[in-house]
Every structure is written in C-alpha cells, then in structure tokens.
Amino acid sequence: MIDWWLILDKVILVVVIFVVSLAIAAYSTYGERKIAAVIQDRIGPDRAGPWGIFQPLADGGKFFFKEDITPNAADKFLFILGPSLFITTALMTSAIIPWGKSFFFGEHEFSLQVADLNVGILYLLAVVSIGGYGIMIGGWASNNKFALLGALRASSQMISYEVPMGMAIISIILMSNSLNLREIVDMQQGFHWNVFYQPLGFLIFLICAFAECNRAPFDLPESESELVGGYHTEYSSMKLGFFLFAEYINMFISSTIIACLFFGGYHFPGIDSLGLSPNWAAIVSICVLFAKIFFFIFFFMWVRWTLPRFRYDQLMRLGWKVLIPLSIFNVLATGAWLTFVK
C-alpha cells in the first residue's frame, strides 16, 4: 500500500525547498555586492528597481542570453556534465535538513524534513565528498591549463579539508550519541548549543566549510589574479551561471549545517514557554533557523571582503599540520571528558 499523502507531502516540500534554495542563492549575490559596497564605502548596485533589488533577475536573464561557447578541443560531453553535476550535488544536501517543527493539519503531521535518515550526517559527508567531481570534470574537460590547475587545486583542497571536517563531526556525534540530524538538533533544545561544548570543533568546522565552499580566503581554485578564472575559465552563458550559482547554494547549505550542528538548528531558548499552538511554533521555528542561516551567510561575505587570499602552501599547511592534529586532539578530549567527567 502506497501512502499517497506522504508522497504528496514530500513532493510539496521538495519543490518549496528547491525554490527557496534558488531564491536565496540569487539574492545572496545581491547581498554579497551590497555588503562589499558597504565595506568598501561604495553604493553597490542601485539601477534595477528600488535599491537595485531586481539586479539578480537582470543577472540571471543576462546569463541566459549570452552566447554559449564550447571550446573546439574540449570534451563535449564532460564539458556539459561538469556544471550539471556541481549544481546537482549542491542541491542534494538540503534533503536531510530539519527545517523546523512539524505542522499539524487535524490528525495529519506535515514533517519539515524530506528524509529522516538514521545515518543523516554521513549522508552529508558523502555528498560533500562527491561535491568536488563537478569542478574536476569541468576543469579537465575545458582542455585549458588554467582550468586544469584550478580543478587540481579544488580537488586537493577538498580532499584535505574533508578530513578535519569529518573529525569535527565525530566529536559532535560523540556528544549526541546519534547520527540522525534531527536528534542532534533536538538534543540542543533550550540553550545547550553545541558551540558552548565544542568551541574548538566549531572553529575547525567553520574553517573547513570555507575551504569546501571555495570561498575567500580559500578561493584558490578560481583565484583570478593567478588563474584567469580558474576551473571555469572556458565557461560562458548559463554553464558559468551554474558554477557561480552552485557556489552560493553551497554557502547557504553550509550556513544551514553550521546552524543545525552547533547553534541549535530551529530551537531558541524559551520557545516552549511562549505557549504557542503547534502550527505557530512551527512558523516561529522556521524563522529562527533562517535568522541563524542569514547571519552565517553574512559572516561568509564579511570574511570574503576582509581577509586576503591564502597562498597555496599556506592553505595545505593549515589543513594538514594545524587543523588535523587539532581535530584529533578535539576528538580525544571529547572522548575523555565523556568517559571520565560526565
């Protein structure tokens, strides 16, 4: 017997999450330019609509109308596969995120999580680990030295920073005794946010999130002063748009993961003492989660316009010689604390 209500729920939820992810990614580009403008004492985009709020629509339209160029020596199939794969993996992670408390329509419960996997956090690591393929395939298929260098940088950076990221997640798993993302979030109810118990783990995870998203100060795969455009040098039109768009989706998803793992997800202190009906509590919890997400998206942009780019050897040294030993120490310390003190 197939539960049609369940399928309908999930279809609605998937479509809503998809649209919201794309809208937030589009408006992050606007936010990025406005924040850069504030930091550099400029005005930023202000031509399209009041305060330039239609700028992302104009940018998106421009991407569609630009000429789509495929280099002669490129591998045609892989050249298209690269950006498609990159944006697909960027959108895949949102499936396991608990976006808020459940809605209730009479007897029917509408859960705000697409898939409640009991290995949820490992699914996250799996998607992160295959996320580099889009860049690698795209950079290689372009048949361009700069693109290849960018792709090599991206993949080695992603492999290196996956290790401390996984270790930071291990210390969270030790704290919560569960791999299920909803259980990890619910454990932080009240003000028991993991960031207070795992400050070192949070710092490591944050740095790795920057590196995995290829964001400044770790944007070496596309550092325009050395590699023209890095892995997307040969791309134009909407294929380039996909690469740039996926970067913003990745940033949105990483902010969500940071909020869920370390800042209590959709919980905030005192949410239960307000005495709200379940549906209102659900709406409030969604708003709380998005407030946390927007803060971290802002933080990503703030860092980009404040810090200079790392050199490649500095990046590798930080990953292998600083973050990995620190994260191993963090796992051991967490284990010792849980065994002997608690």
Partner 1 sequence: MSQLLFFSLSILTILSALVVVFTRKPMYSVLSLIVCFFTIAGHYILLNAQFLAITHVIVYAGAIMVLFLFTVMLLNLNAESDQPKSGKLRIAAMVAAGMLFVTLVASIKSTTLGEFSLPPASDNGFVQHVGQRLFTDYLLPFEISSILFLSAMIGAVVLSKKEKH
User: Which positions lie near partner 1, rule CB under 8 A?
Assistant: 75, 78, 117-119, 122-123, 125-126, 128-130, 132-133, 136-137, 140, 148, 151-152, 155-156, 158-159, 162, 179
Question: Least separation, in Å, of the C-beta of 273 and partner 1?
Answer: 34
Q: For residues 141 and 71, is the Cβ–Cβ distance under 8 A?
A: no
Question: Least separation, in Å, of the C-beta of 156 and partner 1?
Answer: 7
Residue with tokens 């998203």: 213
CA–CA gap between residue 201 and residue 86 (Å, rounded): 27
Q: For residues 207 and 217, is the Cβ–Cβ distance under 8 A?
A: no
Q: Given the complex with partner 1, which of 179 and 260 has the nearer CB atom?
A: 179
At residue 17, the 3 state secondary structure works out as: helix
Question: Least separation, in Å, of the C-beta of 269 and partner 1?
Answer: 31
Q: For residues 128 and 90, is the Cβ–Cβ distance under 8 A?
A: no
Q: For residues 97 and 79, is the Cβ–Cβ distance under 8 A?
A: no
Q: Given the complex with partner 1, which of 37 and 78 has the nearer CB atom?
A: 78
Q: Given the complex with partner 1, which of 137 and 260 has the nearer CB atom?
A: 137
Question: Least separation, in Å, of the C-beta of 126 and partner 1?
Answer: 4
Q: Given the complex with partner 1, which of 153 and 239 has the nearer CB atom?
A: 153
Structure-token pair, residue 126: 């799996």
Question: Least separation, in Å, of the C-beta of 276 and partner 1?
Answer: 35
CA–CA gap between residue 234 and residue 138 (Å, rounded): 9
Q: Given the complex with partner 1, which of 45 and 82 has the nearer CB atom?
A: 82
Residue with tokens 């495929």: 70
Question: Least separation, in Å, of the C-beta of 198 and partner 1?
Answer: 21
Q: Given the complex with partner 1, which of 243 and 263 has the nearer CB atom?
A: 243
CA–CA gap between residue 167 and residue 191 (Å, rounded): 24
Residue with tokens 């419960």: 109
Kind plus residue range of the DSSP H or E element containing 127:
helix 120-130
CA atoms 304, 319, 139, 254: torsion sign: negative
Question: Least separation, in Å, of the C-beta of 134 and partner 1?
Answer: 12
Nearest Cα to Cα of residue 154 among 97, 66, 258, 233? 233
Q: Given the complex with partner 1, which of 22 and 80 has the nearer CB atom?
A: 80
At residue 105, the 3 state secondary structure works out as: strand
